[in-house]
Amino acid sequence: MENTEIIIKLTSDEALVLSDWLERVQMTDLSRLIDDEAVWAPIHRLAGTLDKSLPGIFAADYGERLDAARRRLRPASDDLASDHEDSD
């Protein structure tokens, strides 16, 4: 197998929300969920890349930025209702 790189593109909102989640994951004891230590290498690399790419994570209004990004990424109520109807 070739050792080629994979490029993932995220919006600023996606990157901010994912960065926050990864930070919380890394601070949690996940040994019960992650049964292969090799998984930590890409998790740490992804988190580090996001941290370097998101200067806003050190801003005084980080919490507000994160909350706004989460709101923008959540499906609208109408979308959830139509998804539920489609699955019935």
Q: What is residue 24's predicted lDDT score, i.e. its pLDDT?
A: 85
Cβ 20 vs Cβ 66: under 8 Å: yes
- At position 29, the amino acid (one-letter code) is D
- At position 62, the amino acid (one-letter code) is Y
Q: What is the pLDDT along the chain (88 residues), one digit of tens a residue?
A: 677 888 999 999 999 999 999 888 888 876 667 778 898 889 889 999 999 999 888 899 999 999 999 999 999 875 555 555 555 5
Domain residue spans of the chain: 12-73
Q: What is residue 80's predicted lDDT score, i.e. its pLDDT?
A: 55
Residue 71 CA to residue 49 CA, distance in Å, equals 23
Residue 6 CA to residue 46 CA, distance in Å, equals 12
Q: What is residue 46's predicted lDDT score, i.e. its pLDDT?
A: 92
Query: Whole-model pTM?
Result: 0.75
